[in-house]
Structure formats: structure tokens, C-alpha cells
Amino acid sequence: MKNLDGIVEFCSVASVGNFTGAANRLDTSVAQVSRKVATLEKRLGVKLLHRTTRNVSLTEAGKLYFEQTNPALSVLENAQLSVSALQQSPQGLIKLTAPVAFGEAFIAPLLNRFLETYSGISIQCAFSNDTLDIVEQGLDLAIRIGKLEDSSLIAKKLATRQLYVCGSREYLQNNSIPTSLEDLKQHSLLVGSQPYWRFLINNDVQTVSVSGRVRYNSGNALKAAAINGLGLTQLPGFYVRDSIAQGQLVEVLPDYKDKQEAIWTVFPSNRNVAPKIRLLVDFLSENLTDDR
């Protein structure tokens, strides 16, 4: 075969299931992907895809062609990755996503250090609290916290974090210190985006429904409200550890502190991991510390 034009685009559409996802994956336009696939179909003299306004599916010929060409592309990609690994300085763009607050506080500074070390690499990071579809968005990896949803993604644990219940010293002096979960009903609670808190009860992590007159979808806003004496809040350690150490906040209910949550990086399982990606994952794993 002398002409490989359009095969990469076709296999991307077949893998993702739509032209938009394939375009994001290949960092090109939907129109360009569509033209390439149409050219390939014309060259082969056969229809490979059924196109509707809502989705794309493979024809019988398309299924056969995908089964034959996709493994061959993987072989070619592996060969390219092997050659790239010989470079002293890794090259190229890495696209990822991370939760907003954690990403801004910890991932972004590490990305900056990584870029200082590897001048041939560029970074595009989307900070979002939404669980983005990294295949659909054409991302190389994602940073996620807590329990992972069942999926085809490959996960690697980077570190762990801890949740703390705390309030200001002044608030606790005026409202007493809770010693049981039942005592929380007598307190003003500062609630985040989820209407529950997590605790360790009889050696099992359980959720407890909470409500209050303050509800913010920002950890920093909840911390500020707690420091100002408006009530108790439950936040990850990276928000409140310094404030606890400085005496601005006091931890309560330590006996019910839940098990540490894992911090993960996840990859698409149908994509070979380039050396530059492995390099970044190893860097994050080495520099992220536990109990954030």
C-alpha cells in the first residue's frame, strides 16, 4: 500500500465513534477528518461508515477494514515511539485535565517545574471539576481524586489525600466541640457541592447527609467561612492543613476521620503511552506527596 492517507482518521473515527472525538484526538478539524475519510472511501471504492446526524457506525466493509488496519497502525505507532524514546530530549504536546482547586494548588506548579526540565515539551491543561471524557476530548491523561468509575481507562495511583472536619476556635468556644456524629445536628454546617460528608464508621467508610445555610462549590470559600466562625466544614487537607497548623482552624471528630482518598492519573486504554507521557506521570508520582 503506497498511500496511507485517511487511514489514521478512519481508525480514529471507528475507535471513538464520532467525527468530533476523532478530530479532538488528532488535534485537527472535523471537516478535515471527514474529507480524509471520504477520500479513503473513494480510493477504496467502498463505503466504510454509516453517517447519521447523531452517530457514526461501521459498515460491514468498514468493520473488516478496521480489524485489518488498526493493528497495523499500532505497530507503526510503536515503531515511532521506540525511535522517539532514543531522543535525549522528549518532544511534543501533552494534553491533560485536573480538578480546579487541587490542580491549581499542586498540579500546575509541578507542570511548570516539568516544563523547565524538558524544554521540548509543551503542556495544555484543562482545569475542570467535571469528569471529562478524555477520549472524546482528545486528552492524553486526567488527574482524578477518589473512587474511580468503572471504565476502560487505565489508572495509576499517584498519592493520597485526607479529609478533615474543622471550625474556628471562636466558633467551637461558643458552640461546644462535637464528640459524635449525632452532635453535628446541633451545629451550623458549611456544605460543599455534595450534600454529604464521609466518615469512618465501624471501620467502614460511609456517607452522612448534611445540610446548612451555607453551601459553596468552592473549597477556598468554605475554608474562609469556617475561619470567619460561620460553622464546621469538611475539606481535604490541602485546603486546611496550614490553617490548622496556624491555629486558625481546629480539627474535630478525628476518631471518625475517613480513610485516605487516592489521587489517580488515568489514560485511554486503546492508546499507546508515549515516552513523554510516561515521563510526566513518573514526575508527578515522584513529586506528589501523600495525605494532601
Q: What burial class does residue 244 get, using C-beta atoms within 10 Å of its C-beta: 0-12 exposed, 13-18 middle, 19+ buried? A: middle
Per-residue pLDDT, 52: 77
Per-residue pLDDT, 1: 45
Per-residue pLDDT, 172: 95
Contact between residue 123 and residue 283 where contact means Cβ atoms under 8 Å apart: no
Report d(CA 83, CA 153) in Å as an integer: 26
Query: Nearest to residue 169, comparing CAs of 240, 233, 239, 248?
Result: 248
Q: What are phi and psi of 213, to 5 degrees?
A: -80, -5
- Model pTM score: 0.61
Cα 253 to chain centroid distance, Å, stands at 30
Cα 286 to chain centroid distance, Å, stands at 18
Mean pLDDT by 10 residues, the chain (292 residues): 76 87 85 91 91 83 90 76 60 91 90 92 92 86 84 84 93 94 94 90 87 90 96 92 94 88 83 78 86 56
- HSE at residue 231, side-chain half, CA atoms within 13 A, is 21
All residues at 6 or more sequence positions from 192 whose CB lies less than 8 Å from its CB, including other chains: 215, 216, 217, 219, 222, 233, 234, 235
CA dihedral of 145, 148, 149, 153, whole degrees rounded to 10: 100
Per-residue pLDDT, 112: 96
Per-residue pLDDT, 81: 63
